[in-house]
Amino acid sequence: MMTPSIILSFVLTLCTIIYTGINYLLWQESIKTRRELSCPNLIAYLKFSEDHKSVELLIENIGNGVARDVKVVVLEDYDVVGYYALSSIGIVQNGFKSFPPKYKLKYPLNLREKVYAEGQKEYIKLEISYFHLFDKKLINHTETFDLSFTSISNQGYLNY
């Protein structure tokens, strides 16, 4: 026969197990949140310059962590000017040792007219790889960016 003390002990044990499970899930969520808040996030994108007369390639860390040993590989090159290719810019040639949060690199590419004249089939393809530290472990990130001039051709507000 079940006495009230046995029933209460059983209920207490069941509540303790459920409470422990919930705490475990909260702990896992806390680790994921901390990782997300301390992780760098490097992106590359194209945009018109402030005067809308040229196009710029931007590489930016939109995360809150520091990216280390950043390497950029140009998979589809682009001639900025006849003698100057995108693969010859500083970060592609030398890498970047430490890329802090909210840091941005700008590289002017060409005049706006060239985007409309040739931009329908022109694009840049980059692969960005970097490391960051989390809990004393190096974590590697690699991402490929296909940057098409067509995607920004409608952002130009000035007509020629």
pLDDT in tens, 111-148: 656 555 554 557 788 999 998 877 677 788 899 998 88
Same domain, 33 and 48: no
pLDDT score for 139: 82
Question: What contacts 24+ positions apart, CB below 8 Å, involve 44-47?
Answer: 44/72, 44/126, 44/128, 44/145, 44/147, 45/145, 45/147, 46/109, 46/124, 46/147, 46/149, 46/151, 46/152, 47/152, 47/155
On whether residue 114 sits in a domain, the answer given is: yes
Same domain, 139 and 107: yes
What is the domain count for the chain? 2
Q: Domain limits at 20? A: 1-38
| Alpha helix segments (H runs only) across the chain | 4-38, 90-94, 112-118
CA distances for 14 relative to 2, 6, 8, 26, 28, angstroms: 16, 12, 10, 19, 21
On whether residue 160 sits in a domain, the answer given is: no
pLDDT score for 101: 92
Average pLDDT over residues 58-64: 91
User: d(Cα 23, Cα 91) in Å, to the nearest integer?
Assistant: 45
What confidence tens digit (pLDDT) does each residue in 8-39 have? 999 999 999 999 999 999 999 988 887 777 78
